[in-house]
Structures are given as C-alpha cells and as structure tokens.
Amino acid sequence: MSIWLAGGRIRLWCKGDQLAVKQSNKHSPKSHVWGAISAYGTFVLKVFRQNLTEELYTNILNDCLITHVQVLYPEGLVLQEENDPKHTSKVAKTFRESHDISRMEWPTFNSDLNPIENLWAWIKHQIDLNPPRNLSELEETLLSIWDSIEPEFLKPYWQSVPKRQKLVIQSNGFKIKY
C-alpha cells in the first residue's frame, strides 16, 4: 500500500470576494508499507520509500514474515497476496517454496475479499484525522497505529469474509460495496 502526504488535494478558500485555488503537488511525497495480519494479530510493518521490486519484496518477506511463520505456523503458512507481478515472480515463488509458504490462488482484480484492504482504509482514515506534516511524521504515525492493533480488533475483518464471498459470487466477481 502507498500513502501520499497531503493526498494531492485541491484546496479552495475565499478571501473577501476573491476565490483562491491552490493545488498540492501533482506527485506528493509518499511512503509505501507492507503488512500482514493473521488470527494471531499483526506481523511486522515495513515502511519504505523506494519502489517495490521482487528483490525488495522477498527481503521484506524474509525480515517481516519468516520468523513469525516459524513460531506461529510451524506446519507452514498459506499466504494471501495480490497478483502483483512482484508477488508472482519466479524470485518470489522460489523464496516461498524454500520457506514452505504456500500461496493462495486469488482472483486477478478482487481486493473485496482481502480483509487487510479494509484495515488499510481504516489506517488511512486514522491518519486523515491528524494529518502529518512530513514523511517522517507520516511513517511514525503509521508504525504507531500499526503497533496499537490488537488481535481482538481484527476479528470483524476475518468474520466478514464469508459475507463478502457471498456478495462477490452474487455480483459475478464484480466489485462490491464493502
């Protein structure tokens, strides 16, 4: 997920009888995040500024996922990922195979089924409540919010999956309002 600072919003205001328009930078500074959740809670959140490559992706998996998998899922893990080319690359596939991590088959364009997408929306909303002034502040806020998430808080995200599955089936795989 990527989070842009200031969101590239257009701001309008009036001064007397004059209308002033100010547009934020077309390409506002941004940070990227990788995170994972399970019934046990959150895994380590990785915040980074560079573009994601397949090498960076496997490094993130190694740094943020492998230790937890070995402790919490000694029999192995089924990982739910989007179909981003970095996730489906030969490098990523080899990495998962070497660490006994299976990959769940996933519809190409269906984030409606992925519970973490709702969590990302909630996190973005929390950030919008008190917008950071710079990237360092944004990254600190992201880490603070992530670290405050308890396993109990995630329960509704998991419990909503069967309902969302039914809605996606009813919509013939098209986007649902959830």
- The CATH number of residue 19's host domain is 3.30.420.10
Q: Is residue 178 part of a domain?
A: no
Q: Is residue 176 part of a domain?
A: no
Please calculate the CA angle 111-35-130 and round it to the nearest 5 degrees.
90
Strand partners, 12: 21
Q: Is residue 32 part of a domain?
A: yes
Q: Is residue 36 part of a domain?
A: yes
Q: Is residue 69 part of a domain?
A: yes
Q: Is residue 175 part of a domain?
A: no
Rounded average pLDDT per 10-residue block, the chain, 178 residues: 57 55 63 90 93 94 88 84 89 93 77 83 92 91 96 90 85 76
Strand partners, 78: 102
The pairing of strands 30-34 and 37-38 is unpaired
Residue 50: its pLDDT value, please?
Answer: 93
Residue 37: its pLDDT value, please?
Answer: 92
Q: H/E element holding 148? A: none
Please choose, from the candidates 73, 127, 78, 145, the residue with its C-alpha nearest in 3D space to the C-alpha of residue 106: 78
Q: How many domains does the chain contain in total?
A: 1
User: Which residue range(s) make up the domain with 33?
Assistant: 2-170
Q: Is residue 102 part of a domain?
A: yes
Residue 154: its pLDDT value, please?
Answer: 93
Residue 10: its pLDDT value, please?
Answer: 44
Tokens 């995040």 map to which residue? 33
Q: H/E element holding 55? A: helix 54-64
Please give the sequence-ordered ranges of beta strands (E in DSSP) within 74-124, or none if there are none: 77-79, 101-103
